[in-house]
């Protein structure tokens, strides 16, 4: 168990710039008191099922570890990927165990999510989490990247922090596997053969986000409504196509400009 000072406990998980998370938590969780106590105290057994209220009714979200409870809080309470109720098509790059996909799938009863998750630890959990949604959730166990090939991947035990390994760093890791990567533009092309438009592109790949983002072909950008990318950028990217806001939580939000 992690040691925490009393001040840390009282402040977590609600940082100064985000007190609204507490108010959202009280509405979002079906049992907010016990869930928030579990979060703040870091006590309790895992895995655990967390009840969350959604526009299509309450759902149960499995948290294999405390780290996954953090993700549930970030997605369903902090609003990391807040979208409107009419979202139709989402591409989730770095889908992890499916918490963000569950959020998108529960905004309405017809949304569809295309998930990409190469981690051999996360993928079975992802499939189990999204099984109730049938063909509304398409899952690929490949990694999207800025290039095609086979590359080293850090499949760390927690799962939340897995990602492609930067050259030269594999020697410092304990669970490195080989994964197939696909260029993101090719993957988006294939999805757009089925869908006329991608409402949301979410990218969270633990380190390769900027390379992926910059490799998206310009002709694909008008076919994307908004993007949520865990990346810090020094200057606007794609200013002709998107307005861009870099948020305190480390997520860059791109929203398509009206032309």
The pLDDT of residue 2: 39
- SS3 for 172? helix
Nearest of 231, 227, 235, 236 to residue 211 by alpha carbon: 231
Nearest of 42, 50, 68, 61 to residue 157 by alpha carbon: 68
Contacts of 202 by beta carbon, 8 Å cutoff, 6+ apart: 81, 90, 91, 92, 93, 94, 100, 227, 228, 229
The pLDDT of residue 136: 98
* pTM, rounded to two decimals: 0.90
The pLDDT of residue 194: 96
Q: Rounded to an integer, what distance in angstroms lies between the CA atom of residue 137 and that of residue 102?
A: 9
Number of Cβ atoms within 10 Å of the Cβ of 256: 17
CA torsion sign for 77, 118, 196, 220 is: positive
The pLDDT of residue 20: 80
The pLDDT of residue 153: 84
pLDDT of the chain, 259 residues: tens digit per residue: 333 344 444 444 445 455 788 889 999 999 999 999 999 899 999 999 999 999 999 999 999 999 999 999 999 999 999 999 999 999 999 999 999 999 999 999 999 999 999 999 999 999 999 999 999 999 999 999 999 999 888 888 777 788 788 766 655 667 888 899 999 999 999 999 999 999 999 999 988 999 999 999 999 999 999 999 999 888 889 999 999 998 888 899 999 998 5
Q: What angle do CA 177, 179, 184 make, to 5 degrees?
A: 145
The pLDDT of residue 166: 74
Contacts of 173 by beta carbon, 8 Å cutoff, 6+ apart: 154, 156, 165
Nearest of 105, 61, 62 to residue 83 by alpha carbon: 105
The pLDDT of residue 171: 57
Which domains, ranges and CATH numbers included, belong to the chain? 1-78 (no CATH), 81-145+182-256 (3.40.50.150)
């Amino acid at each position: 168990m992690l040691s925490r000072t009393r001040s840390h406990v009282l402040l977590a998980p609600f940082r100064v710039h985000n007190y609204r998370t507490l108010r959202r938590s009280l509405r979002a969780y079906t049992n907010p008191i016990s869930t928030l106590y579990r979060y703040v105290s870091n006590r309790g057994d895992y895995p655990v099922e967390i009840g969350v209220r959604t526009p299509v009714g309450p759902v149960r979200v499995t948290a294999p570890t405390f780290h996954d409870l953090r993700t549930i809080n970030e997605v369903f309470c902090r609003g990391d990927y807040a979208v409107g109720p009419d979202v139709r098509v989402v591409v989730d790059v770095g889908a992890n165990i499916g918490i963000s996909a569950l959020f998108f799938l529960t905004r309405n009863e017809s949304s569809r999510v295309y998930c990409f998750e190469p981690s051999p630890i996360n993928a079975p959990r992802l499939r189990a989490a999204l099984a109730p949604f049938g063909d509304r959730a398409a899952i690929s166990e490949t990694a999207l990247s800025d290039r095609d090939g086979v590359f080293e991947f850090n499949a760390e035990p927690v799962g939340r922090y897995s990602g492609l390994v930067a050259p030269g760093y594999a020697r410092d890791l304990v669970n490195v596997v080989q994964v197939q990567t696909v260029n993101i533009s090719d993957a988006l092309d294939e999805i757009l053969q089925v869908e006329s438009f991608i409402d949301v592109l979410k990218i969270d790949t633990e380190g390769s986000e900027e390379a992926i983002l910059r490799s998206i072909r310009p002709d694909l950008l008008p076919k994307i409504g908004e993007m949520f990318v865990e990346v810090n950028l020094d200057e606007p990217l794609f200013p002709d196509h998107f307005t861009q806001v870099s948020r305190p939580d480390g997520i860059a939000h791109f929203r398509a400009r009206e032309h």
